[in-house]
Amino acid sequence: MAVPHLQQPSFLLASLKADCMNKPFAQRCHDLEIVIEDFPAKELHAIFPWLVENIFGSLDGIIIGWNLRCLHGRANPTEYAIALDFLDPSGPMMKLVYKLQAEEYRYEFPVSYLPGPVKASMQERVLPECSLYHNKVQFPPSGGLGSNLALNPFEYYMFYFAISLITQRNSPITHHVSPSNSAYFSLVDTYLKWFLPTEGSVLPPPSSNPGGGIPSPAPRSPAVPFTSYGIHHTSLLKRHIAHQPSVNADPASQEIWRSETVLKVFVEMWLHHYSLEMYQKMQSPHVKLEVLHYRLSISSTHHSSPAQSGYQALHAYQELFKPTEEHVLVIRLLVKHLHAFANSLKPEPLSPSAHSHTASPLEEFKRVVIPRFVQQKLYIFLQHCFGHWPLDASFRAVLEMWLSYVQPWRYAPEKPLQNAEPQPRSVSEKWAPFIRENLLMYTKLFVGFLNRALRTDLVSAKNALMVFRVAKVFAQPNLAEMIQKGEQLFLEPELVIPHRQHRIFMTPTLGGSFLSSWPPTITDASFKVKSHVYCLEGQDSQYKQMFGPEVRNLVLRLAQLIGQAQQTAKSISDHSAETMASQSFLSWFRFSPSDMNGSYTGNDLDEIGQDSIKKTDEYLEKAQEYLCQIFRLNEAQLTQMMMNCGAAQDENGKKQLPDCIESEDGLILTPLGRYQIINGLRRFEIEYQGDTDLQPIRSYENATLVRLLFQLSSIINQRFADQMEILCSREDFIGRLCRYHLTNPFLTEKGRHSPALKQRSGRSRRPRISLRFLASYRTLLSLFMIYFIASWFCIGPLACTFIILLGYLLCAIVMTFFTERWKPHQH
């Protein structure tokens, strides 16, 4: 871009904005790269906020920006490659970030666009526990809610990048492509691999100074008093560069600062979404005591009223948050990479003293990255999804994210042995500490999934697959035993160690820097499990054992539903086969019984086909087997249960009616009956019980013809009613033929047993002609084809009509002979 170096920053910004409207995407990126290389930081400082917003979109979602979420390599390969190169960690945009970082510029980020819990706490002047916000909050001098965060260029860039996943969720998507193939998803993966490497260390940022590095952000004093509802920890950089004689940071600490910042921003923007009431409940007792002391200490100052009322408002705050499937997929990518990052930790030396001197900051970061930064927020995020996600197949994304977290061994560097017959790999005992310290991730969320599975339609192959996936994961050898041992440690009475009562259950201090206030090593496994449960659920929580009798009953109910779903799938398969076999050429000329009464006996499996039914049966059968292994269920008992489910069908192969009780007003569904209908286990045979000519017009009928033919039928029936009555009263074959085709035997039979239908069936038992079947599109198509073929053979329209009527009469005679209604008329 040919722009003189003597231009003012405002003119440079105006030129870039004009280019954004007039030049193609590739040319704009090339010009921006030249500007970043040639212009000094003082002039680039003015365009940086506009450029970030132009790329990631505005915080209010009005400006879409480059729309990285909808930019896919297959649809736009050129723009996709250019965007990834420009935003790469070693690309032009990051060079601009590091160029401005060297000059220690600050940029304002509105607090109002932060996640709900963080925003509410800051507006009430309560500092969140995450050190990402410490020494950055700025309030307007006149008060009010217009507070901002003063961020350095690297933080500002990462804030915008991470939060664009949420603020741009309503942007239009022009094509149906998997979110995992988007440019945004690829950039998340690239940034995780660059700043949280599993091998080696983070590459140092490029420096514009010949002999120095980029200075780290210096701590600044807060503008207003804060209290933290988490423990305030010193910054990571203070630990490493407090005694450095120069402002240039040590390369190791600079490396850790960027890694820690990227992780904190991702976790805060993507996972910190839930009610603050739940968040407060999960704080340890000494934190609540700290807040109480703060409130008492300021009760006599002029800040007392807003602080106290603010805390009450903060405590009752509820955030309305609905994560999308794309959001969940990005979090799963983060979880998988963090497992690989933590599992790349080098083996600990035998000497504990050697550990503290030889371990690098990156190795220490790997050691605590999951429990310190991710565990608590991810647990509550998963609880929110398990409780609020719709009961459909889209829950698969949440399920796979959960299963990825509870299987860290899948991302360990060691490879399984290649055997001729692959066997399920046993979970090693080295993962027992992880399972104990994440016990609720296994037990409580498993119970939450059971409650969801009991409310879903297991006949659907997608829902059956989710049950199969969970059962298969928890049936891995040695996993259930380690979970059970963890529960036993939690339930162990605290009567052995006298001094245990003086210990406080500490929170994992997710927000603090990992090198600050390093706690002493705790060897008591039982205390670790209790600390984990109490930190996430509170000390007054009631723990429900995964292997206790209550959950076992839920598993038995699920096993029973699995058996019923298998029987339902089998009956649907049989019904579909019978329906296909019963279709004939005559169905093109008149209504079938299912068309006339409007009943529907199938579900989505009828559209998917027999392959889906087979998959459903395979998934459910395997899931049943895995559940037996996990909970040591009696296979003979389950077999008898399945036989009872099969015996629930009557001799005609139809499902029994839902569970009901009889009353004066008729049948009333019981709770069991409602459950059976919701899950498709049983149903009522819904049939139309009125005059077939007065049914609602169907989608396969011509509305105009239906009305005209009804009027024609009514005229014929009124004029020839006496003659048709005489014909139907005859005892010979003519009488039986007329009674079969000119009366409605359905209402005649129903009227004998239902007093409510006697009055309505009186008119329908009279002989009548119904011409409505001629309004069906398939009938019209068939007649058109017959006339077309007749004209091909030079047969006239009158002769063709006579042949059609003669053929219909012959079919009617044949159907009269092969029906149960051939018996003489009963007066």
DSSP for 578-597? HHHHH--GGGGTS--HHHHH
Tell me the longest C-alpha to C-alpha distance in the chain: 118
| C-alpha to C-alpha distance for 74 and 85, rounded to whole angstroms | 17
Residue 620, pLDDT score: 93
Residues 6+ apart with CB under 8 A from 117: 128, 272, 273, 274, 275, 276, 279, 317, 319
DSSP structure class, residue 108: E
Let me know: does 380 contact 279? Beta carbons within 8 Å. Answer: yes
What six digits make up the tokens of 805?
């009527």
Question: What is the spatial distance between Cα 611 and Cα 192, in angstroms, rounded to a whole number?
Answer: 40
0.85 cut: is pTM over it?
A: no
Which helix H or strand E contains 787, and what residues bound it? helix 777-792
- Report d(CA 452, CA 394) in Å as an integer: 13
Torsion of CA 263, 265, 266, 272, to 10 degrees: 120
Distance, in Å, from the CA atom of 761 to the CA atom of 745, rounded to the nearest integer, reads 10
Contacts of 767 (CB under 8 A, 6+ apart): 721, 724, 725, 727, 728, 738, 739, 742, 743
3-class secondary-structure state, position 415: coil
Lookup result for tokens 């790329």: 55
Which of 288, 144, 137, 313 is CA-nearest to residue 225?
Answer: 137
Instruction: Determine whether 358 is exposed, middle or buried from the number of CB atoms within 10 Å of its CB (0-12, 13-18, 19+).
Output: exposed
**Alpha-carbon span 750 to 762, nearest angstrom:** 11
Asked whether the beta carbons of 771 and 586 are under 8 A apart, the reply is no
Whole-number Cα distances in Å, 686 to 596, 598, 697: 12, 8, 18
List alpha helices for 344-478, DSSP H: 352-358, 361-369, 375-388, 396-405, 432-437, 439-453, 461-474
- The first and second tokens of residue 617, run together, are 């049966």
Number of alpha carbons in the 13 Å side-chain half-sphere of residue 77: 1
Q: Where are the beta strands (DSSP E) in 62-153?
A: 107-110, 126-127, 137-138, 148-151
Which tokens is 239 given? Answer: 């630990």
CA distances (Å), origin 164, targets 29, 193, 675: 20, 20, 41
Number of Cβ within 10 Å of residue 527's Cβ equals 17
* pLDDT reported for residue 585: 44
SS3 of 141-163: the string is CCCCCCCEEEECHHHHHHHHHHH
CA 703/CA 269 separation, integer angstroms? 55
Neighbours of 719 (CB within 10 A): 9
Considering only CA atoms, which of 311, 362, 356 is closest in space to residue 341?
Answer: 362
Give the length of the chain: 827
Whole-number Å distance between alpha carbons of 330 and 312: 34
Place of tokens 């398939």: 778
CA–CA separation, 98 and 76 (whole Å): 29
Q: Which residues of the chain have pLDDT under 70?
A: 1-10, 141-146, 170-177, 206-255, 274-320, 348-359, 414-424, 494-523, 574-610, 637, 639-656, 679-681, 687-690, 744-765, 808-809, 811-827
Give the contacts of 360 (CB within 8 A, at least 6 positions apart). Answer: 201, 252
Residue carrying the six token digits 């995407």: 25
First to last CA, the chain: 100
CA distance 526 to 531: 9
CA distance 549 to 544: 10
User: For the purposes of burial, counting CB atoms within 10 Å of the CB of 525, is it exposed (0-12), middle (13-18) or buried (19 or more)?
Assistant: middle
CA nearest to 486, candidates 542, 430, 422, 443: 443
What gap in Å lies between CA 399 and CA 459, rounded to an integer? 19
Specify whether the CB–CB gap between 41 and 102 falls below 8 A.
Answer: yes
Identify the CA nearest to 747 among candidates 736, 729, 733, 760. Answer: 760
Distance (Å, whole) CA 523 – CA 251: 34
